[in-house]
Structure 1
Amino acid sequence: MIAVPEPALTERELIERAVELRPALLERQPETERLTHYPKDTHEDFLRAGFYRVLQPRRYGGYEFGLPTFYRVVTETARGCPSTGWALSLTAAHVLQVAGLFDEKAQDEIFGDDGEFRAASTVVPIGVARPDGDGHVALDGTWPYSSGAPYSTHYLGQTLRAPEKPGDPPGPFVLFLAPRAIWTVVDDWHGALGLRGSGSNSIRIDEGRVPTYLTRELSLLDLPVEGGTPGSKLHGNAMYAGRAPSFYHGELAAIMIGTAYAAADEYARIIAERPLIADPARTRSELHDYQRHLGEALGAIHTAEAALLRNAEDWMEACRRNVSGETPFTSAEDNRLALVFLTAGRMAWDVLQGILFRTAGSRYARDGERMQRYFRDAATCWTHVGPTMAEPLYRRVGRDRLGLPSDDIPLLP
């Protein structure tokens, strides 16, 4: 057992800390982009605030708060700096799968004596895994887009088991957890349109060895959670027996909604300060059109956030029913939840680019302007593999409703 840093900390207090940090994150945006990851001051702020431990089991020094609280923290962080919100979410989130899928022996080693755990990850299988016959697996490969890698203590990756002999096809998916000592961060996160400060570097493993008990032959896109997992039993919490794809879509939605709120904040500042050409004594904020633009955007963002949080509660309930034996957490339920999250993110993106960025004025599309940064960040977020799953998810949900099989429709191209 590892002591929780602040045993009396409440979910409300944690969210308030994220709100209070927004001004500092706002001021650090240029430095975050320059460094290509958020600065050490921000990392230390997150450590003190407990943001990395939101979903972590209490047994291992975490707060074990629910999904709605985690998404609220991510949204508020992204509202201060989208790149920072992205990196925080994609390192603090993977504890949910680790705490669910691995057994007690593995988790005791993973969380160590202090509970320090942050894990970058990617969903695409890269490289190969070779069992060495001595209770270990050798890993070799370069995993790109490992957001949050600079501050990660572990790497949750996917690879393929090496073929038995030359000419054979590769074996099944292998999910592995690699400690920081066996991988390096590649300095290759440069030149991106947006999310320039997300620390989405590649990580490189050269014949690194991990114990076999830190590997599982399964895919993050299809976790075996029906009836519970080793982690849900160990921690007595159904949250650790949830499917991953819908959860990941919720992360992206929280980031996009936070970014849209940031753009709305900047829009309000712009129109309040921008004088009218024909009447410099007045500002755009006094014109009905700009008031309507801001109100319409906020209405959509608020709606998207409401959908995000309600869907997060539904995800938690699906986990509870799954573990209780009432209703399994099926791929069909996962598809439905994922599509709601994706739709919430799309609503935020549509008003950010279609209303806020479009009507703010071209001077705010210049380098160094926050509105330009938010547009770049949101546009880059929308090119992520998650939003590209929209079309297959539409088909899956439609086929699920019609009683037709849908698992044969691949989510990834």
Structure 2
Amino acid sequence: MHEVHERILARAEELAAEAPVSDELGRLSDTTAEILRSSGVMRMLQPKEHGGYEADPIDFFRAQLEIGTRSSSAGWVAGVVGVHAFEMAQMDPTLQKEIWADDPDTWIASPYAPLGRAKPVDGGYVFSGRWPFSSGTDHCQWIILGGLITDADGVPVPGGLRHFVLPRADYEILHDTWDVVGLRGTGSKDILIKDAFIPGHRVFDPVPMEDGGLAEQVGRGDSALYRMPFHPMFTAGITTATVAMAEGALAAFVAAMRDRVTARGVKTANDPHQLAVLGRASADLAAGRNQLFDDIEQMTEHARSGERFSPEQRLTLRRNQVRIARRAVNAVDELFLHAGGTALRSGSTLQRCWRDIHAALNHASNNADPIYQAYGLNLYGNPTPPTVLF
């Protein structure tokens, strides 16, 4: 067991207790952020020369699962923010020093949606835009944002997709933009930028990361971690967070049903129907968890071989991830349906997990049908839709 994993387990009860506090705040509570920071989970995928662990990916995702089982929002932020170090490790070395030299515990937010527009100027770009869903952003000091390079008239140029990296002083968090039904504690607020100058070394082309091939070009080819394909790595954080919410719901169901007695006077712990629901849900979640981690281990093994990841491999990984998420949501729905009226109360852990996992299903990474379609098209030798990221 990785030492980060051990530190998380040592404070598991605190994480669980802070989950409703984060919901109420609309962001991770300071205590939750301190637990994540002191555990080192955000440094697990960070290069060793910048104070990171450069850990095996499976260790990172297992640690994330433990966090998310206790606090859906904390698990979500750990997955999203934690994976950013994986990308940053393949960016300009000067930028890596700017971010981590003074504080290896510096967190980096996102999102990647290409909603910004960047006009070229001497030495870099002038960048503007607005982005929703910047998870964990209140506790981050830098941000990676998606955008398109334009010509002098503001028209996007072909092949102009880039990731732009900015320090906290260069963007605004719109604090009144996160009023939602689930995953409230993630604090996934809007980001606004007006005509910020971005020097060239803070602008990054993410496409070479898609098949894991960039690591060789930037001198990290000897690391299996940095040879992992970008999209399946990022989306594994979303899938892990989703599975963790279901695990939390299952634990809450087991605890609530242990002593519950139905209106007919039957103890639910002895009720065949309730036990059948429990059995189905626990089996489906175990299957999803095993498939998720098996895929991560297979990804890592392939990365160790030095080979790049083919479209077929990446689409298979994404196919599995979206199906795992759907099975997890189905399991939670059945648990919630059979938990009785007390599950509806605002203080119920089960209802919070139910709300959170449905919010998670709305993330683009959990949108299953486009992935299934792309998998089938590729299987039959047809072009993959350009809108599908894999």
- State the TM-score, normalized to the length of structure 1: 0.88
Q: CA RMSD in A?
A: 2.1
Encode CA deviations 1:19-58: one digit per residue, 9 max, x unaligned. 3332212211221011111111111112211111111111
- Counterpart of 1:332 (choices 312, 315, 337) is 312
Contact 1:250/1:342, CA 8 A, preserved across alignment? no
Alignment of 1:13-412 (within 5 A): 13-100=3-90, 102-133=91-122, 135-165=123-153, 168-170=155-157, 172-219=160-207, 223=210, 225-226=212-213, 228-231=215-218, 233-234=219-220, 236-279=222-265, 283-321=267-305, 324=306, 327-353=307-333, 355-388=334-367, 390-402=368-380, 404-411=381-388
Encode CA deviations 1:258-294: one digit per residue, 9 max, x unaligned. 1111111111111112124343xx6311222222222
Distance 2:45 2:216 in 1: 16
Distance 2:5 2:45 in 1: 13
SS at match of 2:132: strand
Distance 2:272 2:174 in 1: 50
Which amino acid letter does the alignment assign opposite residue 105 of structure 1? Answer: T
Distance 1:116 1:206 in 2: 28
Distance 2:309 2:373 in 1: 19
Distance 2:156 2:263 in 1: 68
Which amino acid letter does the alignment assign opposite residue 191 of structure 1? Answer: D
Contact 2:111/2:134, CA 8 A, preserved across alignment? yes
Contact 2:211/2:310, CA 8 A, preserved across alignment? no
Distance 1:235 1:45 in 2: 32
Encode CA deviations 1:134-174: one digit per residue, 9 max, x unaligned. x23222112110111011121111111122336x4455112
Task: Flag the 1:116–1:246 CA change in 2: closer, same or farther, 3 A.
Answer: same
19-28 or 144-153, which deviates more: 19-28
Contact 1:143/1:202, CA 8 A, preserved across alignment? yes
SS at match of 1:59: helix
Task: Kindly state the Cα deviation for residue 307 of structure 1 after the two structures are TM-superposed.
Answer: 0.7
SS at match of 1:64: coil
Which amino acid letter does the alignment assign opposite residue 143 of structure 2? Answer: Y
Task: Kindly state the Cα deviation for residue 77 of structure 1 after the two structures are TM-superposed.
Answer: 0.8
Task: Kindly state the Cα deviation for residue 235 of structure 1 after the two structures are TM-superposed.
Answer: 7.3
Distance 1:44 1:106 in 2: 25
Encode CA deviations 1:344-367: one digit per residue, 9 max, x unaligned. 2222111111x2111101331232
Distance 2:167 2:233 in 1: 24
Encode CA deviations 1:370-411: one digit per residue, 9 max, x unaligned. 2111111011111111122x2222122223333x14334522
Task: Flag the 1:332–1:223 CA change in 2: closer, same or farther, 3 A.
Answer: same
Contact 1:141/1:205, CA 8 A, preserved across alignment? yes
Any stretches of 5+ residues in structure 2 without a counterpart? none
Any stretches of 5+ residues in structure 1 without a counterpart? 1-10
Task: Kindly state the Cα deviation for residue 230 of structure 1 after the two structures are TM-superposed.
Answer: 4.1
Which amino acid letter does the alignment assign opposite residue 232 of structure 2? Answer: S
- Kindly tell me the number of residue pairs found equivalent between the two proteins: 388
SS at match of 1:16: helix
SS at match of 1:130: strand
Task: Flag the 1:214–1:309 CA change in 2: closer, same or farther, 3 A.
Answer: same
Encode CA deviations 1:285-305: one digit per residue, 9 max, x unaligned. 122222222222111111111
Which amino acid letter does the alignment assign opposite residue 328 of structure 1? Answer: R
Task: Kindly state the Cα deviation for residue 341 of structure 1 after the two structures are TM-superposed.
Answer: 1.7
Distance 1:395 1:113 in 2: 46
Contact 2:119/2:152, CA 8 A, preserved across alignment? no
Contact 2:149/2:156, CA 8 A, preserved across alignment? no
Which amino acid letter does the alignment assign opposite residue 63 of structure 2? Answer: V
- State the TM-score, normalized to the length of structure 2: 0.93
Distance 1:116 1:235 in 2: 25
Which amino acid letter does the alignment assign opposite residue 377 of structure 2? Answer: R
